[in-house]
Amino acid sequence: MPGNTRTDFSSRLRLIFLSCFLVDEQAVIKNAERNKIVTLNHRKRNGLRFEYFIAKRLIGNKNKDSISRPIVKIAVGSIVLSIVIMLLAMMAGKGMQHKIREKISGFTGHILLLNYDNNQTQITLRPVSLKQDFYPDFSRWEDVESISPFASIGGLLKTKQDFEGVILKGVDSTYNWKIFRQYLIRGQMPAFSGKKISDSILISQEMANRLRLSIGDKVKAYFMRPGSDKPLIRQFRVAGIYKTDFKDYDKTYIFGDLRQVNKLYGWNDTLTGGFEILLKDFDRIDEVTRKINADIPPLLEARSIKDLNPMMFDWLAMFDFNILFIIFILIVISALNMTTVLLVMIMERTRFIGTLKTLGATDRSIMRIFLLKAAWLIATGLFIGNLIVFVIYYVQKKYGIIKLNPEIYYIKEVVFDIGLMHLLGINILVLILILILLLLPARSIGKISPAKVLKFE
């Protein structure tokens, strides 16, 4: 019986304390009179921790005269702004990387299989045999989506008004137009499936404007065969016009029938310039390139577009560093703001802390109470920030209101691209890192003496 009396006395002390600081006093008295009071011990037995119960009451306590109220609003606002900037920076960076990478892949594929003696030029110097173990059946390379032969030759397009230097890339009916099709703005993709060599070509809008060409127009082309002083003349018909906003490629490349290029080089039907490979997952390109190099004949070499365009991909790789730097700076700023809020809340509730210690609460338990409230404030800021990001994402995707200069960024508008797991990851990372950084100011709770606090009160 004495033990029960002590437990009831402790429970009533907790009830009186909670009624003074955390809940509506009249409601507590009313419940007490009806003997329907649920003590903290009872709540704990039902799976609700003491810290969570107190923190929940602190979160629900809307005291308009609180000193920390405006500071809390500023801190939550800083978290909202930080997560918006972090997510938009990551989404825009990933979107730009993906779009530029996709455009380059449209011209060169992900991996090129070339003669080992070929140099760094964009035209074919030495042919390779079409008869390979991996072509047309490439099933042994499970990461590969498609393989198609190609060959390139330099030439000149000439009209009555002007002329342009070009690279004619010859492809056949097996060529994968999946990436390039989205950049077609007029006409249609040329078809090279017939028995007769096609005279159809695909040119860029920039080239069409300079040469004043339109769909269906015919244009003469001049090519020099290696070892010959006499130019070879061909007449082509414009079947389609594309625009990628990638000026270095748009002003250079035209697409035509692979058989035309073979004939210009004087090759037979068993030769080609090389093989273009598209992968199912670009992120595995380095691993797959090494795997293919180990599996092909020694006279062939597999080269990824990262090897062919090192400066471009080094520039794209800098985006990752910049994004990580932005995330780091904003997490530090958010943590500093939340540190200020936490210290103000601790100072404001010194009596609260002293009373809890008097009732037997440990420093660690009280720290958890304040960290739970801080976690709630951080989560509130993250939730609002994510809503704003989704609104911006939807508006940009539908209307494209944020424009870019394609001559500098190679794309005409901001493209947001990020997976759901990345979004969840960055939110969880921000929450956990800020809470870890808040452990240091939270330790100031241990310096509060209940005897001094209650004596002062």
Pairing of strands 200-204, 231-242: parallel
pLDDT at 13: 45
pLDDT at 454: 58
Query: What are 65-112's pLDDT values in tens digits?
Result: 566 678 888 888 889 999 999 999 999 988 988 898 988 888 889 999
pLDDT at 240: 94
The alpha carbon of residue 14 and the mean position of all alpha carbons in its chain are separated, in whole angstroms, by: 50
Closest listed residue to residue 54, CA positions, set 26, 14, 27, 25: 14
Q: E strands along 195-260, which residues?
A: 200-204, 218-224, 231-242, 253-257
pLDDT at 271: 92
Low-confidence ranges of the chain (pLDDT < 50): 1-10, 12-13, 15-48, 456
- Domain chopping of the chain, boundaries: 2-36, 56-100+314-456, 117-297
| Model confidence, pTM | 0.75
Name the one residue in this structure whose structure tokens are 């599996």. Answer: 295
pLDDT at 64: 59
Measured on CA atoms in the order 378, 381, 384, 387, is the torsion positive or negative? negative
Backbone angles phi and psi of 144, in degrees to 5: -90, 135
Question: Could you tell me where the DSSP H helices lie in 267-309?
Answer: 285-293, 305-308
pLDDT at 405: 87
Name the one residue in this structure whose structure tokens are 């005291």. Answer: 63
pLDDT at 80: 93
Closest listed residue to residue 296, CA positions, set 274, 278, 273: 274
pLDDT at 317: 87
pLDDT at 247: 86
Q: How many CA atoms lie within 13 A of 163 on its CB side?
A: 9
